[in-house]
Every structure is written in structure tokens, then in C-alpha cells.
A = this chain, B = another copy of it.
């Protein structure tokens, strides 16, 4: 059941080499925990981007925290390509596990269901099948004969995201962003940062409960105001586009990236 901790303690429970599921920008990215992870000097993490990532993955790659990246895309969106991701691909410093969005969702669903694999429509003909030998093409065991792709279960060691609020029981409001629940179901441990802890019981009414990840799946919660910045948080704040552009420009070079990172980390510490 959910423990209320500080940011440092939250990320201290992540070990080098673990796999960590992180959500798409709009679904609530814990940039606060990202800074704390970099600060803690974590290495060798296997990122599972659900199903894509942006600034968060780029920072973790650039800072040397991530060594394996499983994703359907890494992009800064309107701010352009992800410069540290692109550089790391070129110099071979990360191991790539290229995917397609629904395959990552399917792998997590297999984790949620406790089955070794999940069938998925489409994909056949894609070179992803060449670069992902863990994905198999089988003859459908039921119904009309036909080829079907199956992907192995994804069971991350850790799921990490940022949400507007949790209650004192550890229930977390996730709204319609149900991929956050899927991540938590599939993961061994779930760490959440939130804008605030609220007094009301989020499970109290059918309406509020429908948008809640129950405490049963949440291991630790840390409060981090503005914790998704410069990424957006639904119902709370928009993307800080100027900051993303600033990052995109600076991170083109390794030196620029170091400078950005250093400022980002000291800013995060001041806030925390």
C-alpha cells in the first residue's frame, strides 16, 4: 500500500539496471522524479516509453541514466527531434528496442493479465519484426487460418508518473489516462508524484472513483508541485513551449546539454 515519502526517497527505491515504464507527455510525466533520478546518479535503466516519450527520455539518455530504450518514438513534438536520443543512436551508446505504440500497450496488457504474450493486429510486413526478434509471427490457433503477431509481456520493475492528486489512502486520480493504470497493473512497483494530497476520499463516489488508480497498486507517493514542468499536466497546466524550444536548441551539442541539465537540476532542487 502507498507510502507517502519525499522525492529523494521515492527515487532511492529504483535500482540501477531496472526497467521503468514512463508515460507519453500529455498523460502526466514526472519531471520532478526525473531530475531526482539524474541527481541520484542512477545508471543502466531500461526505459519503457508508454508508448512514446520526449523530454523525459531525452534527458535520461543524455545524462547517462538510460541504457536501453524501448519506445515507439522519441520526439520533442513541436520543438522537433530529440537531440540526445538521436546522438545516442548514432554513437551506439543506447540499446534500441524500436516498437509501435499498440505493441507497447499490448505487452503491458499481457503483464496486467499474467499471460506470457499478447496477440496484436497489423504489424506484418514491418521491419520492426526484423529488429524485434522477441516479437513472433504465429498461425492463429483459433478461427480462420492466418498469421498473427504476438508480443511478449512487459512487466516493468517500476512504473513512474505524475498526477494532479492523491488522497490520504494513496488512491491517485488519473482521469481518462488509463494507460497509467495499465502501467501500474503490469509493473512490480509504482511510484507517483502528485501536485497535492487531498482530504476527500477519491473512491467516495462512482464518478470520482472511475478516474482513480486504487492505492492497492501504488507503492509510494511524493508531492512535487509543478512536477511535470515543462511538460503539461491535464486540468492543471499547459506545456511550457518556450522552455522546450530552449532545451531543443541547447541540447544540440553535448556542452549545451550539460549546461541545460545543470540548470535544470539546480532549479528542481530549489523547488523541492
From B138, B206, B235, contact of A235 by CB (8 A):
B206
A113 within 8 Å of B by Cβ?
Answer: yes
Q: What is the CA–CA distance of A207 and B202 in the complex, to the nearest angstrom?
A: 10
Q: Tell me whether A206 and B120 are in contact (CB under 8 A).
A: no
Q: What is the CA–CA distance of A77 and B222 in the complex, to the nearest angstrom?
A: 43
A242 within 8 Å of B by Cβ?
Answer: no
Residues of B within 8 Å of A234, CB to CB, are 206
Which chain A residues have a beta carbon within 8 Å of chain B's beta carbons? 106, 110, 113-121, 134, 136, 138, 140-144, 146, 148, 150-153, 173-176, 206-211, 234-235
Residues of B within 8 Å of A114, CB to CB, are 121
Residues of B within 8 Å of A138, CB to CB, are 141
Q: How far is the CB of A8 from chain B (nearest CB, A)?
A: 30
A selection of 5 A-B contacts at a CB cut-off of 8 Å is A106-B113, A114-B121, A116-B148, A176-B209, A210-B210
Q: Chain B CB within 10 Å — which of A134, A141, A206 has the most?
A: A141
Residues of B within 8 Å of A143, CB to CB, are 116-117, 152-153
Q: How far is the CB of A150 from chain B (nearest CB, A)?
A: 5
Q: Tell me whether A210 and B150 are in contact (CB under 8 A).
A: no
Q: What is the CA–CA distance of A138 and B139 in the complex, to the nearest angstrom?
A: 11
